[in-house]
Amino acid sequence: MSSSGIRRPAILITGAGGEVGYGLIDRLSRSADHDLIALDIKELPADVRERCTSSIVGDILDANLLQRLVSQYEIHTIYHLAALLSTRAEYTPDTAHRVNVEGTLNLLQLAHEQARWHGNAVKFLFPSSIAVYGLPDAATKLKAGAVRESQWNFPTTMYGCNKLYCEHLGRYYTFHYRQLAAEKTLRGVDFRSLRFPGLISAVTMPTGGTSDYAVEMIHSAARNEPYDCFVPAEAKIPFMVMPDAIRSLIALAEVPVERLTQRVYNVTAFSLTAGELQQRVVQAFPKATIRFRPDVARARIVDSWPADVDDTPARKDWNWQPEYPVDKAFSEYLIPGILRHYNGS
Ligand code: SER
């Protein structure tokens, strides 16, 4: 809220303490025309808290907390990042469903109510994932090539099921919510979603994902620790470095709604096998010890994800283009960023 007591438009970020939240807060806090409200189950580090108008510790399943938020702030945009990732969700599928689906439903409902209050559509940015795809085996995956949004929507993980269903919920809230009600209600949710590939950050580590081997491999090498990779060398999925992920989220949030021909978009930067990743890491850190010790079950999940995704609609509708193709990702972001992170050099 401003010092005059007038409510300013606010951006709410859930899961703000995760690795996407960290980068997003950094970017969004550079603009002063909105309040920035961070919500996370854990307290954020002090340097991140400082960048937000308010930083709230709480659970997206807590209805009272969400009501309090609505009474205090005029929310115009929501980046709903809170989720249990794919590996973690397989250990606690029921909890994952509650957090990933019921949590999203709560936030969509909050967006709808906010829109009714202030009369403007609430933008709802939702990171989805390549985990919504489910290819039956590695041979089919090889043949499939770059997969379009409508293909192979048969997820094999709880997380993938949750993300795919929430994409549908977002579309429902945007176009069909309460379609049989006698009184025509304002459909105030403007849902926009990106299906992210594996994300790699030079600074933060993901928790509980299945594409984490890429991040773990690079960071272990930089720390001079041996790494046992849990997928085989030939396992291949698409990736993107964190600055591109943040840029794509913000670009999708800013594009005029008339330009959107769909509500869920693939985005990608490059595809690599775990073996190719190893070569690049060893080139940068010649003393790195990386062994392939596949975990059959986790490797099977990676086999069910496409080797590449077709992001033509994002390129056409809102000019999506990665700033970091593979060589630049390593030479200008990952390697220097990781060296700075660990050595301060
Ligand atoms: N990176 C995520 C995971 O591995 C997929 O979106 O769970």
Ligand 1 pocket mutation pick from 100, 194, 204, 210 by most atoms within 8 angstroms of CB: 210
**Residue 4 has what pLDDT?**
52
What is the C-alpha separation between 16 and 231, in angstroms, rounded?
29
pLDDT of residue 21: 95
Q: Describe the chain by its helix, strand, coil percentages, rounded to 5.
A: 45, 20, 35
Domain range annotation of the chain: 83-343
Strand, coil or helix: 161: helix
- Name which of 277, 38, 267 is nearest 149 in CA terms: 267
Report the atom number in ligand 1 closest to the C-alpha of 163. Answer: 6
Distance CA 72, CA 60 (A): 16
The one-letter amino acid code at 72 reads Q
**pTM for this entry:** 0.96
CA dist., res. 104 & res. 126, Å (int):
9
Q: In testing the pocket of ligand 1, which one of 91, 194, 212 has its CB within 8 Å of the most ligand atoms?
A: 212
Per-residue pLDDT of the chain (345 residues; tens, 9 = 90+): 555 556 779 999 999 999 999 999 999 998 878 999 999 999 999 999 999 999 999 999 999 999 988 888 999 999 999 999 999 999 999 999 999 999 999 999 999 999 988 999 999 999 999 999 999 998 999 999 999 999 999 999 999 999 999 999 999 999 999 888 877 777 799 999 999 999 999 999 888 999 999 999 999 999 999 999 999 999 999 999 999 999 999 999 999 999 999 999 999 999 999 999 999 999 999 999 999 999 999 999 999 999 999 999 999 999 999 999 999 999 999 999 999 999 875
Structure tokens at 39: 């919500």
pLDDT at 138: 87
> Are 210 and 89 within 8 A, CB to CB?
no
Report the CATH fold assignment for 83-343: Rossmann fold (3.40.50)
Asked if residue 144 lies in contact with residue 151, where contact means CB atoms within 8 angstroms, the answer is yes
Report whether 13 contacts 36 (CB < 8 A). yes
Q: What is the pLDDT of residue 7?
A: 72
Distance CA 315, CA 266 (A): 10
